Amino acid sequence: MPTVLNTSAYKFVPLHDTSALRERVLAQAQALNLKGTVLIAEEGINLFLAGDATAVRQFFAQLQQDLRFADVQPKESWSDSQPFKKLLVKVKREIIRMDHPTIQPDFSRDDGRAPAVDAHTLKRWLDAGHDDTGRPVVTLDTRNAFEVDHGTFEGAIDWRITKFTEFPQALADHKEALEGKTVVSFCTGGIRCEKAAILMREAGIDNVYQLEGGILKYFETTDGAHYRGDCFVFDERRTLAADLSVASQAVPD
């Protein structure tokens, strides 16, 4: 039975103590022998951590004592070995780089993020082929092309971007194709769609949602229906199957 707990979590919330927070998070993770990557910016925090299950959960319990992170709920999966080589805790300009400074999600405000749909709602819509109002539903993959090549939702729109900073221009080039549809944007864990969905709404596309928790939460809470292939992750596991086990497929050329 796998013994290493892998977690990912993020939250967009204004942070004005990034350097002090980095030192605290680094010390707590080191004390618990965790490995992975934590990015901290004035816009929020993004975490990928793995280790002994008790230690990982103790870390998040400590993090949640900070009221800014009280509602952070990590997505979980398991592996036989540690998927990270070391622990990195960095202060960055953005926790997910878009180079579009006007797009600033903020979970501390009621209007600080675009509307989201949970995994079960998306599955139900895809089963039916439309949303609850009868409007056609399309899924939009906001990930990089090499990630999409490992797997994606059936019929997902894929603009073949090579980095997330290309997404705003891709939207400008393809905006008309989204009009009149309900668009559900998705990515690995949800963080890219926090910005992508806001950008699309600001561009005048009304019926835009983000998939809450991304592909990983969809795998965790559904049977993976309507998804084909595996999900690329940025650690030594490389790809995960719909049951969140390490996939055995070869990396595409």
pLDDT in tens, 12-36: 999 999 999 999 999 999 999 999 9
Reported pTM: 0.91
Helix (H, G, I), strand (E, B) or coil at 246: strand
Does residue 73 fall inside a structural domain?
yes
- What is the pLDDT averaged over residues 127-142? 96
Average pLDDT for residues 222-242, to the nearest whole number? Answer: 96
Question: What helix, strand, coil percent values describe the chain, rounded to 5?
Answer: 30, 25, 45
Are 125 and 47 within one domain? no
pLDDT digits (tens, 9 = 90+) for 61-103: 999 999 999 999 999 999 999 999 999 999 999 999 999 988 9
Distance from chain centroid for Cα 191: 4
Which pLDDT band holds residue 2 (cuts at 50, 70, 90)? Answer: confident
Contact between 156 and 141 (Cβ < 8 Å):
yes
End-to-end CA distance of the chain: 32
Query: Considering the domain boundaries, does residue 164 fall inside one?
Result: yes
Same domain, 236 and 122: yes
User: Please, what is the angle between helix 167-174 and helix 191-202, to 10°?
Assistant: 40
Active centre residues (catalytic)? 187
| Residues 66 and 170 both lie in one domain | no
- pLDDT at 214 exceeding the cut of 70: yes
Q: 74, 91, 108 — which closes off a domain? A: 91
Q: What is the mean pLDDT of the chain?
A: 95
Residue 253 lies in a domain: no
- pLDDT at position 253 over 50: no
pLDDT at residue 251 is higher than 50 = no
Contact criterion met (CB below 8 Å) for 31 and 52 = no
The radius of gyration of the chain's CA atoms, rounded to the nearest angstrom, is 18
Model confidence at 139: pLDDT above 60: yes
- Which CATH number fits the domain that encloses residue 31? 3.30.70.100
pLDDT of residue 134: 96
Q: Is residue 172 part of a domain?
A: yes
The answer to whether residue 170 scores a pLDDT higher than 60 is: yes
Asked if the structure places residue 107 within a domain, the reply is no
Q: Contact, 127 vs 120, CB < 8 A?
A: no
Per the structure, the count of domains in the chain is 2
CATH code of the domain covering residue 208: 3.40.250.10
Residue 56: what pLDDT?
Answer: 98
Confidence class for position 252, pLDDT limits 50, 70, 90: very low
Domain range for 206: 116-240
